[in-house]
């Protein structure tokens, strides 16, 4: 115990000396080490603290940074756009108008399917805010236009005759295809079929 009693006071003195300033008989000035040293100590501590904070921040590496857009991950959107060409042909043919309406009703059983599909694709490269990504918005708008065809083709607007009904339906289909084309163009996937679709539906 005597050894310990000797060690601790000696250690405290040693630590105290390391942060003390040798006294001088001269009157200290404002630039003396008596005032400068505490400032240096505070600066040093602040610097160490800031460096420590930087070192403690984890570096996060998202898989999104490594993802390369693939056709297989978004080809259903392309197939939807292509199928609208066939729907247009049916809408223009009075004998196939019922078949066109039946197809739209089938689509409306799951009207949000393609929006969710597009979001899942976008999430592979955008981890946050994928729901508000413009590409998801394109497919959401396109799906809304396709869904609205049920009302048009079933005669929901009493002021529209057969000709105006066909024209309005074709107009909405073309707008939907244009939106799908924008999605494909901004998907990051390089493919000749996609490029041809985009060029044909601007």
What value, to the nearest 5°, has the Cα angle with vertex 149 and ends 146 and 155? 175
Q: Is residue 57 part of a domain?
A: no
Domain that holds residue 67: 63-200
Count of structural domains within the chain: 1
At 106 the pLDDT is 96
Question: What integer pLDDT is reported at residue 156 of this predicted model?
Answer: 64
Domain-located, residue 152: yes
Please tell me the distance from the alpha carbon of residue 179 to that of residue 157, in angstroms, as a whole number: 25
> Cβ distance 197 to 81 under 8 Å?
yes
**The two structure tokens encoding residue 18:** 């390391």
The closest alpha carbon to 91, from 150, 159, 156, belongs to 150
- Exposure of 147 by Cβ count < 10 A (0-12 exposed, 13-18 middle, 19+ buried)? middle
Does residue 53 belong to any structural domain of this protein? no
Q: What pLDDT score does 187 carry?
A: 96
Mean pLDDT per 10-residue section of the chain, whose length is 202 residues: 36 35 43 45 42 36 71 97 97 94 96 96 87 94 97 73 87 98 97 97 92
Apex CA 89: angle with CA 86 and CA 95, to 5°? Answer: 120
User: CB-hemisphere CA count at 13 Å for 137?
Assistant: 5
pLDDT (0 to 100) of residue 160: 63
Q: Rounded to whole angstroms, how far apart are CA atoms 193 and 107? A: 24
Structural domain includes residue 115 = yes
Asked, for residue 133, whether it belongs to a domain, the answer is: yes
| pLDDT of res. 126 | 86
60-69 LR contacts (CB < 8 Å, sep 24+): 62/127, 64/124, 64/125, 64/126, 64/127, 67/124, 67/125, 68/188, 69/121, 69/124, 69/125, 69/187, 69/188, 69/189
Within a domain: 1: no
Chain Cα centroid distance, residue 57: 23
């Amino acid at each position: 115990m005597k050894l310990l009693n000797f060690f601790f006071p000696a250690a405290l003195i040693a630590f105290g000396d390391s942060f003390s300033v040798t006294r001088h008989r001269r009157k200290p000035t404002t630039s003396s080490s008596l005032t400068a040293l505490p400032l240096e100590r505070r600066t040093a501590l602040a610097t160490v603290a800031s460096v420590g904070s930087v070192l403690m921040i984890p570096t996060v590496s998202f898989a999104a940074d490594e993802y390369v857009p693939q056709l297989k991950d978004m080809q259903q959107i392309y197939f939807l756009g292509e199928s609208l060409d066939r729907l247009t042909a049916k809408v223009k043919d009075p004998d196939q108008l019922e078949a066109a309406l039946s197809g739209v009703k089938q689509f409306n059983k799951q009207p949000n399917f393609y929006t969710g599909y597009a979001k899942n694709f976008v999430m592979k490269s955008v981890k946050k805010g994928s729901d508000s990504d413009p590409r998801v918005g394109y497919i959401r708008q396109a799906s809304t236009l396709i869904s609205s065809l049920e009302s048009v083709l079933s005669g929901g607007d009493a002021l529209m005759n057969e000709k105006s009904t066909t024209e309005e339906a074709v107009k909405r289909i073309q707008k939907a295809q244009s939106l799908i084309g924008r999605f494909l163009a901004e998907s990051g996937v390089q493919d000749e079929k996609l490029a041809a679709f985009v060029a044909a539906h601007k």
